[in-house]
Structure 1
């Protein structure tokens, strides 16, 4: 049993015993070996030269963990499931390519050769997980000209033999238990292998059938991805663009469902962007790299302005003046599609131009264990908690075990501003509570008024939280129940509240990378009354900018 089997992510299915036998390797995966690629699909995505330099030095840093050694730690016992998936997926070859030079090319060959020695003809639940395997297939094919075009005949023969075997494995194993993003990843591997490798066109045909079936399930009518995550939206769209590029490079007809999905998803990706170009922090998302997001949107080549509402995945976007607000107003994604889901129902984020003011705490790249428990919790979001519990029950290994069954929202756009009203029943287990939230943003974009109302039993502690971006500074106004918030540009906003006591507390922000940044949160605390307990609050722009 390998190190990765301990992770739920890699627990083998019922057919694993057979896939591990020599008979399976000799029969199901055997066949003609392609001599080369029919064509090389385009790879427009940037690599990170600094990361490539680390790989040159045998330092393998992924998803917040780093391991080093003379031999690649393919099955490092202390590695998380996301780290193992990255390691075996080889998508990091693009970082070596970005470094450039013969040393990077040689290192890529050494690592590929070492993997082949260990796993090329031996099934392993980590190395041969279908979506991990598919990532590796697309990486080896997409980076062919970088590391393989000038390689010796022996390595080329081994790589193409392995590619053919891996693609045949995908044909046998997909869809299996895969859902959501991992299933798209696996189909992408089938598209690349079936189109680029001679003798495997049947796999490409089956991939086209899977796309026709799966895309209407995963890309909802509002263009949102079924996992309700800005990060999943970005990754899924990138996969679809890659598949379209592969079809075009092979001079094959692009499936109609694929093009329609790209056209629908692109405006929704724009929907999730703040003014700084990064993504909103919902359901496991970090800000991402603005340059990469720009590249994805450019490669999508699909017009369409950001929507106001995405009712099928449950988000609202309110813009006025320089202010942008994004609010989670939907039921969390369904079981099996909720690996990265957070308990952040009715939370919101707010940015002014290119500066973020109100945020959620974000996500750790590893997204498992203590980090997931902390960052997926309701208290890590700018919304309401009751009795320090979560509105959805968070599983440390991914997913939710309880969630609101009913979330409703109503939006009204008028000349004076936009009003969004929403409620959810995620706290029914705590005194039968329903949480109602109202947000009104004036047409100037400089006045946000909110009200949270808890309807239920008396005597329960509650907290209304507003996490601030680390760039925001807070000052208490002694002569009134208010706080003064200063953005990095010098812009001032005043926060007022009624119906609960105002305090500030420490918080963290994980919008980028794996290291949390300290920040501050505003907390309104109180105890519920029988029936309705309203709390009113507001953020208002103050005067003109002042010097630092």
Structure 2
């Protein structure tokens, strides 16, 4: 009992020691000194300015019938006031309050439903009460209502009044205790509201939003264009956010004239974000799965790129380069004819905000002939529970687990204690070979002081993954997860799989391999059966090799 308490105290210590002082300060302030009174004064006047507004990126439709919704692949109905607050999933309720369907695919066909839903929300959700008044869903709803209006719909006077009340409430609840994408979306909402309305109060909202963004954009968007949480899903959302901000700056140019110099840098930042997303997407057009990532939360990459093009922002496609090293965010993509290999040599995220991190260091995903072959297990849910813990664990990723421990101590849904850091990444490329190597220190905390080093190698005839484990350990397991469409077989230390009726043979240098059943979650609320090759490692090194048809390697490395 005492030992368990001590372990928990140490876990909290190793989790909390990375937080910024202001995160502690604002958490205490919001808990004990919060103003719970909403400001119901009349709204400011709407801003009279008519610049150019482009149609934003559209998501999947989520309002499947009048008062019937499909979020996270779970259907639910809105039949009473209580339904706004009651659901087994808090994330599902958040989605209900987002109002994303106002700007989703085919939304113009549901305008009457949307008008009715906005009025229903106002009537059923009095100021400062319930899930919908939490700052994150509140921010997204403010943005969505304004987008809906800007594309030609009409918010009623009651909805305009509600928007002002919601924005005033948000100003008291900015998520300084969380920072990251939460604070970013708060600031974006203030900018949208500050542009939509006019006057002293609206100008203060706009100034505050821009002030936060001018700090957070260089903090959250890395020099290679990647979002600092190292999640492809959250990167796509941040990419969309930047496009929305640039869009609204064009719609209300006079409102932004004070910040013209700063805004002039946004297109270049957005271009880099687009390049990053292209590099981190599979040939099938969708995102790879590192950290919390799932298809269907952000608009599709192709839809976001359509939006960028409409705003006259061209994002170069670097996937024509054989090696793309996203050095600051920590990912590498290798393109070789019909092969796309995406490698994780990244930190799990910013130290003070690792909530969406998985213990996936030195994992990778592989596509051949535009089909996913080797994958990570994805994300099907948030919150607490055994499945959330499994999906974040090292054992759910195509990498190595030592002594049944995670490479980073992920726990409690969104927390990380001691975490792995990449060591000595190296990329070598010549006309005959491409090689990437990296180690991590996540297992140095174990008694055996273990270091895991992995080397990926592509030649004209072979992909190989060589693992070296230095230190003392009781057990080590390498896992290779296959996409559900891939059915590998196993015969001793070798086997094969087929892609589009083409056979690929693989083999191992040593180890004790078995094929096991697993679960793959490409979307929230979705779990598909797939196969995992588990290799119990019985020597300091093990090599997994896939034989390739003959081809030529070219010498080309592009760093971003």
Q: CA RMSD in A?
A: 2.8
Question: Could you tell me which residue of structure 2 aligns to residue 537 of structure 1?
Answer: 544
- Aligned pair count reads 508
Question: Could you tell me which residue of structure 1 aligns to residue 469 of structure 2?
Answer: 454
TM-score (norm 1): 0.85
1:113 maps to which of 109, 116, 119: 119
8 Å CA contact 2:57, 2:307 repeated in 1: no
8 Å CA contact 1:34, 1:161 repeated in 2: no
**Matching of residue 141 in structure 1 with residue 146 in structure 2:** yes
User: 1:148 Cα deviation (Å)?
Assistant: 5.3
Question: Could you tell me which residue of structure 1 aligns to residue 247 of structure 2?
Answer: 245
Question: Could you tell me which residue of structure 2 aligns to residue 92 of structure 1?
Answer: 101
User: 1:536 Cα deviation (Å)?
Assistant: 1.5
Distance 1:184 1:433, change over 3 A: same
Question: Could you tell me which residue of structure 2 aligns to residue 14 of structure 1?
Answer: 29
8 Å CA contact 2:288, 2:365 repeated in 1: yes
Question: Could you tell me which residue of structure 2 aligns to residue 5 of structure 1?
Answer: none
Question: Could you tell me which residue of structure 2 aligns to residue 369 of structure 1?
Answer: 385
1:140-219 mapped onto 2 (5 Å cutoff): 140-144=145-149, 149=154, 156-174=156-174, 176-199=176-199, 200-219=202-221
User: 1:420 Cα deviation (Å)?
Assistant: 0.6
Deviates more, 1:417-426 or 1:172-181: 172-181
User: 1:334 Cα deviation (Å)?
Assistant: 2.5
User: 1:73 Cα deviation (Å)?
Assistant: 4.7
d(CA) in 1 for partners of 2:331 and 2:151? 41
d(CA) in 2 for partners of 1:84 and 1:370? 22
1:464-503 mapped onto 2 (5 Å cutoff): 464-477=478-491, 481-487=493-499, 489-503=500-514
8 Å CA contact 1:331, 1:407 repeated in 2: no
Structure 1 runs (4+) deviating above 6 angstroms are none
Question: Could you tell me which residue of structure 1 aligns to residue 368 of structure 2?
Answer: 352
Structure number with higher relative contact order (C-alpha < 8 Å, ≥ 6 residues apart): 2
Question: Could you tell me which residue of structure 1 aligns to residue 137 of structure 2?
Answer: 132
**Matching of residue 512 in structure 1 with residue 510 in structure 2:** no
TM-score (norm 2): 0.84
1:436 maps to which of 446, 449, 453: 453
Question: Could you tell me which residue of structure 2 aligns to residue 4 of structure 1?
Answer: none
Query: What CA deviation, in whole Å up to 9, does each residue of 1:287-344 have, x standing for no partner?
Result: 4599821121233323333371112211111111211111110221134422211100
Distance 1:286 1:343, change over 3 A: same
d(CA) in 2 for partners of 1:390 and 1:250? 49
Unaligned residue ranges in structure 1 (runs of 5+): 1-10
Question: Secondary structure at 1:474's aligned position in 2?
Answer: coil
8 Å CA contact 2:345, 2:422 repeated in 1: no
Query: What CA deviation, in whole Å up to 9, does each residue of 1:378-428 have, x standing for no partner?
Result: 111101011222111122321322211453311111111210111011112
Question: Could you tell me which residue of structure 1 aligns to residue 434 of structure 2?
Answer: 418
Question: Could you tell me which residue of structure 1 aligns to residue 534 of structure 2?
Answer: 523
Distance 1:248 1:368, change over 3 A: farther
Distance 1:246 1:65, change over 3 A: same
d(CA) in 2 for partners of 1:323 and 1:305? 16
d(CA) in 2 for partners of 1:287 and 1:106? 29
User: 1:91 Cα deviation (Å)?
Assistant: 1.6
